[in-house]
Amino acid sequence: MLALGYLIRYRGRVDLIAGYDEKKVRDPEGLARFVGTNLLLLGAGAFVILALEFLLPTYAVVFFAVYALAAVPAVSLLTVWGSRRFETGR
């Protein structure tokens, strides 16, 4: 996620975004910043969860479940909904 986030956010590789269609996007730079930043946040969150799992192994399953069942879906939905503002005709 960190590598993809970096490529999209800082290198402008919007072609790496699933479902990207240049005909439907009015601001590819803005979309790259938005999606790339969200991927970087998810990647950083994964590292935080990994660190917590090493520090508190008793709660490893809980940390993973919170990340996988709450953080990833929440950020994913926000990314999909937020990306709509970069579409043409909106």
Q: pLDDT > 90: what percent of the chain?
A: 97
**With a cut of 50, which residues of the chain have pLDDT below it?**
none
| Domain regions of the chain by residue span | 2-86
37-59 tens-digit pLDDT? 999 999 999 999 999 999 999 99
Per-residue pLDDT at 90:
60
Sign of CA dihedral 1, 69, 86, 22: positive
Sign of CA dihedral 69, 64, 18, 82: positive
Its pTM stands at 0.90
User: Considering only CA atoms, which of 77, 49, 48 is closest in space to residue 63?
Assistant: 49
Tokens of 62: 């809980």
